[in-house]
Structures are given as C-alpha cells and as structure tokens.
Amino acid sequence: MDSILIRGGNPLRGRIDISGAKNAALPLMAATLLTDETVTLSNVPRLMDIQTMAQLLAEFGCSAEDRGDGVWDLTTADVTGTLAPYDVVRKMRASVLVLGPLLARCREATVSLPGGCAIGTRPVNLHIQGLKEMGAEIEIEGGYIHATAPGGLKGATIAIPTVSVGATENLLMAAALASGDTVLENAAREPEIGDLIDLLTAMGATISGRGTDTLKITGAAKLHGTAHRVIADRIETGTYAVAAAITGGDIMLAGANHEIVEAALAPLRQSGASVDLLDDGIRVRRDGAGILGVDVMTEPYPGFPTDMQAQIMALMAMSHGAAMITETIFENRFMHVPELGRMGADITVHGASALVRGVRRLKGAPVMATDLRASVSLVLAGLAAEGETQVNRVYHLDRGYERLEEKLGACGADIERVKG
Ligand code: UD1
C-alpha cells in the first residue's frame, strides 16, 4: 500500500489551483440519472470517489465518458438495472444518492445499506422516511433498501427532523421528477446543495428557496440534458489554507470561492493568520507570530464544517494556548487524536469535545488514519513537524484530494509518495 513521506518544516509559498468539489460532483453525477439526455459536467475532480460513482452509474446503463480535463459526459438513455450492489456502496456512502433519482425515474430501486463507517453509524433513515412521505414503499431486507413507487412519487411537505446533506439531496432529486409540489423543511443549506439546485434547474426543474432551509420543488414530467460546471471545493480550500497557516507560509488559493469558505476560514483568522479575499481567489499567510488558540464547534452550514475539524485541530495542536474543539455532527470523529498524539500533540477528548493544549513543536512519526479528513490532518501536521512523517493508508487521501503531493510540492513542501 502506498504511503506519503513528508519532511516537515518548510514554510509553504506559492499558488494552489482549487479543484472542483467532490461533495458537489457526486450528487450531480447521481442527478444525471433523472434524464435520458446527456449531461456534461466540467471541473470534475480526478478522484477515486468519482471513479466509484461512475462505476456505480454504469450498473444502471449510464455511459460515463471522461473526456479529460475534468469534463464528463453522462448519458443514461435507458435504465438497464436498478440495483446498487453492496460491493460498490460499501466503498462510498454517497452511493446512496442514486436512490432518489432511480426511484423517481424507474419507480423502483434496490440500494445496499451503506452500513457504518469510521466516523460513526451514519444511518439513512431520513432519506427513507422522506421518500416514504412521497409515496414510496420501502422495505429493508438482507442489507438492502428495496423501494418501489408503483404510481410514481408524489409531491409532499416533508419536515426533515435533523439537518442532513445527503437526505436533502436525495429528496431534491426525487422531487424534481415527482408529480406535484414538494416542500422540504429544515433542508441543509450547504453550497453543494445550491450547486445541485442549479443543475436540476438547468435540467428543467422548478425550485425556489435556494440557500434557505425551505425548498419548494415543482416536479417536472421530464428533465433534459444540459452542461454544468462543478463549484470549487471549499474543504480543499480550507485544508490548504491551514497548510499555509500551520507552516507560517503564504499561499494563493486560486479559484477559491469567497462566500462558501467564509465559515471554514473564520477560526483561521482568529488564530492570527491573514486571510485576504482577492478577485481570483483567497490568499492565506502567517508571519512569524504564533498561532492563537481558538475554540471551534462544528455545525451544519453556514457553521464551521465537520469536514474541516481534523485540519483545524492539527493547527491548534501547535497553538500558543488551548482550544476546545467540539464535534456536533458525527459521534466518532476524533480518530486523528491518538495519531496527532504520536506526533507530540497534547489533546484530551471529553465526549464530543477535544481539549487541545498547544505544544511548541510536533515531531514526525509514522501515522495512519481511518478517514479522509483525518488523514489530511496528519499530512498538515507532518508539514509543520520536525523530521519525517510517514502517512499510511493513502487511499483515503486519494478519495478526496486531487494531486495532493503535487499541489503541496509546488509550494515547497518536501513530500513524496512511496509505492508500497
Ligand atoms: C455529507 C458529506 C460529508 C460531510 C457531511 C456533513 C457528501 C458526499 N458527504 O455527508 O463529507 O461530513 O455531509 O456535512 O456530501 N443522519 C441520520 N440519518 C440520515 C442521514 C443522516 O441520522 O438518514 C445523521 C448523520 O449520522 C450525521 C448527520 O445526520 O450525524 C449529518 O449527516 P449528513 O448531513 O446526512 O451527512 P452526509 O450527507 O452523509
């Protein structure tokens, strides 16, 4: 298995082009199932998860053609199957996003339950409940969600009990082809949902309330093909912003979108880094001054994203002072704590909060993590640590960070992939 080797201590300086957002591209790809015409997506990042979604869509008869340079043509002229098998779904939870579109278009779908994952149990009850309210009949048997809607899905008013990105996306897609109006109350407001709304609208759906927690969707009898550009990845932006701050460097994050990263960068500013919003991106730098401790709590958008929690913890591990980091979205998202501890960080977990007492320096060590964002937090710590850090289980990084070593290497990081 490959690993990443980092010799830390170099302040990173330069420019990083921000890729398209993985978490936007995945639902957009699923949404292409809603039409028999071609949808062309551009700015699609080159990532393992994108390949997995393409492989899954192929199960349903979609021809997913990667034209290079992040442009994909996705066409499902005829749906030839409606089974999302365990073997694919277990690799990537976002696979469950095909449930809504398949059910809306074919009136049936069988999707493996994703099961738990490293960061928590992550049930899909909210997806299922919402689809039932739209008239679907759903049974869980043998680890699979068996869903049918013999008379087609019908618009409904659905109050989603807990804010869920995935459930909002699944219900949005289903509603776009349902008969009548659907109102989603307590919808998630993440920018990736805005991007999905933009695609569905371009495909012919009528949706109001974009950016708010109440979405109204008027179902269409048929949706059509279109072309759409995936938004910039706010988590990648935030991650490289931390890379600049933690190494005392200066990085221009080219193509980063101001509005959608504001919440992710707020604690960075409070920690003493300069964050300048420029016409063509965001510049993040930290001069010789130390890192101040900042308390952070993860929340649904527009709050601080859970997908940035591990990265900000790596920064706080080197702060002058202390920081309380509270995770409110997932129940088990502190697996990076013991690994950061191996590098000399002083962190104690009390329930959903981690008390981080800053240390003067981190020291390189062999580490590994069990999820994507935890892995990248170890890379960030390694960039700032003295000596050599070997990050194992690199496949997590390949799921979500496009050309990580190349992007960091171009800014002066001493980082290489070691084939294993
Ligand atoms: C998405 C993101 C993920 C991010 C998360 C929260 C993608 C592909 N993934 O995941 O990177 O960390 O949003 O911002 O976009 N829940 C239930 N029942 C459900 C659904 C969710 O109880 O049916 C719970 C979850 O366990 C979790 C919370 O709701 O505690 C939020 O999860 P959700 O927003 O659904 O996350 P995902 O869409 O899976």
The yes-or-no verdict on residue 288 having pLDDT over 90 is no
Angle between helices 372-384 and 309-316 (to 10 degrees): 20
Question: Residue 129 contacts by C-beta under 8 Å, 6 or more apart in sequence?
Answer: none
Q: Is 120 in the pocket of ligand 1 (CB under 6 A)?
A: yes
Cα–Cα distance between 242 and 417 in angstroms, integer?
21
- Quick check: is 117 catalytic? yes
pLDDT in tens, 215-226: 999 999 999 999
Name the closest-CA residue to atom 5, ligand 1.
165
Q: Region 93-112: what's the mean pLDDT?
A: 97
Query: SS3 breakdown of the chain: % helix, strand, coil, rounded to 5?
Result: 35, 30, 35
Quick one: pLDDT at residue 64?
A: 97
Length of the chain: 420
Residue 331 CA to ligand 1 centre (angstroms): 11
Q: How large a percentage of the chain has pLDDT more than 90?
A: 91
Q: Which two tokens stand for residue 272?
A: 């003493």
Q: Which atom of ligand 1 is nearest to the CA of 125?
A: 23
Q: Region 184-190: what's the mean pLDDT?
A: 98
Residue 291, classified by CB atoms within 10 Å of its CB into exposed (0-12), middle (13-18) or buried (19+), is buried
Residue 327 CA to ligand 1 centre (angstroms): 13
Question: Residue 159 contacts by C-beta under 8 Å, 6 or more apart in sequence?
Answer: 185, 186
Number of H-type helices and E-type strands within the chain: 14, 24
Quick one: pLDDT at residue 122?
A: 75
Cα–Cα distance between 124 and 114 in angstroms, integer?
8
Quick one: pLDDT at residue 420?
A: 83
Q: Region 59-85: what's the mean pLDDT?
A: 97
Cα–Cα distance between 415 and 349 in angstroms, integer?
30
Range in 8-12, 87-91, 116-120, 218-222 the model is least confident about: 116-120
Residue 168 CA to ligand 1 centre (angstroms): 10
Give 331's pLDDT tier (boundaries 50, 70, 90).
Answer: confident
For tokens 């339950």, the residue is: 113
Choice between 262 and 214, residue whose per-residue pLDDT is larger? 214
pLDDT in tens, 123-165: 899 999 999 999 999 999 999 999 999 999 999 999 999 999 9
The yes-or-no verdict on residue 118 having pLDDT over 80 is no
Give 116's pLDDT tier (boundaries 50, 70, 90).
Answer: low
The yes-or-no verdict on residue 30 having pLDDT over 90 is yes
Cα–Cα distance between 69 and 52 in angstroms, integer?
18
Name the closest-CA residue to atom 17, ligand 1.
123
Most informative mutation of 48, 125, 165 for ligand 1 (most atoms within 8 A of CB): 165
Nearest to 249 by CA among 6, 4, 8, 53: 8
Q: Region 332-337: what's the mean pLDDT?
A: 92
Q: Is 352 in the pocket of ligand 1 (CB under 6 A)?
A: no
**Element of type H or E holding 54:** helix 48-58
pLDDT in tens, 353-385: 999 999 999 999 999 988 899 999 999 999 999
Quick one: pLDDT at residue 85?
A: 96
Quick one: pLDDT at residue 317?
A: 98
Cα–Cα distance between 248 and 244 in angstroms, integer?
6
Average pLDDT, the chain: 95
Give 173's pLDDT tier (boundaries 50, 70, 90).
Answer: very high
Q: Region 404-409: what's the mean pLDDT?
A: 97
Quick one: pLDDT at residue 306?
A: 97
pLDDT in tens, 381-400: 999 999 999 999 888 899 89
Residue 272 CA to ligand 1 centre (angstroms): 31
Quick one: pLDDT at residue 117?
A: 63
Per the CB < 8 A criterion, the answer to whether 361 and 8 are in contact is no
Per the CB < 8 A criterion, the answer to whether 14 and 252 are in contact is yes
Quick one: pLDDT at residue 230?
A: 98
DSSP for 267-335 reads HHHHTT-EEEEETTEEEEE--SSPPBP--EEB-STTSB-GGGHHHHHHHHTTSBSEEEEE--S-TT--T
Angle between helices 165-176 and 125-133 (to 10 degrees): 30
Quick one: pLDDT at residue 119?
A: 63
Cβ–Cβ contacts within 10 Å for residue 116, how many? 12
